[in-house]
Amino acid sequence: MVASIELLLGGARSGKTRLAQGRAAESGLEPVYLATATAGDAAMQQRIAHHRRDRATDSLAWTTIEEPLQLGPAIREHLQAGRCLVVDCLTLWLSNCLQRHCWPEQRTAFLDALQSAGGQTDGPPGDRDCRLILVSNETGLGVVPMGALTRDFVDASGRLHQQIACLADAVSLVVAGLPLNLK
């Protein structure tokens, strides 16, 4: 199995998820949504419900997997030939890992899964037998946060995005629902 890997970055409510879902629909592959969010408060419960409604109203029959921590193993398990796996969202996953003090090992397992999936293969992405679309918030465009945990989060997400961009076949920055293709 060799995957085409795409990273979609953008701010909150920039249209990243909608774009990812549209690209999954265009792929013609079986759509699988790997959600990393946990419903820790009412606002997050509403966001999760909104995403579920969006998937329910499009023409695809989505399979949804919820995995807030073990993203590397989940990608290895669910990224299969004939599937388009949308992972939403990497920054929520990173936050989960930082809060549970398991970031270094989870980051390593995730990057290993990406490399195994085909981020460093030759040949055009269209020749691959599955697709992986990673959705993440771009957090490095603002001011330097004052709190240590917030600084750690921004630094870790920036480094993670750079590492993924090296492995990815395509990277886009999404603003107002419009992608700016970076790679």
Task: Please say if the pLDDT value at position 173 is more than 80.
Answer: yes
What is the full DSSP assignment across 68-126? SS-HHHHHHHH--TTEEEEEE-HHHHHHHHHHTT-HHHHHHHHHHHHHHHTTT--S-GG
144 vs 28, residue with greater confidence: 28
> For position 60, which CATH number holds?
3.40.50.300
Res 123 pLDDT > 60: no
Tell me: pLDDT of 119 over 60: no
Residue-range definition of the domain harbouring residue 131: 3-181
Domain count, the chain: 1
Asked if residues 12 and 177 have their Cβ atoms less than 8 Å apart, the reply is no
Q: What is the pTM of this model?
A: 0.90
Active site residue 51: yes
Taking only the tens place, the pLDDT of each residue in 55-106 is 666 767 899 999 999 999 999 999 999 999 999 999 999 999 999 999 999 9
Residue 113's H or E segment, with its range, is: helix 103-117
Determine which one of 50, 51, 78, 101 is catalytic.
Answer: 51
Where does residue 124 rank: exposed (0-12), middle (13-18), buried (19+ CB within 10 A)? exposed
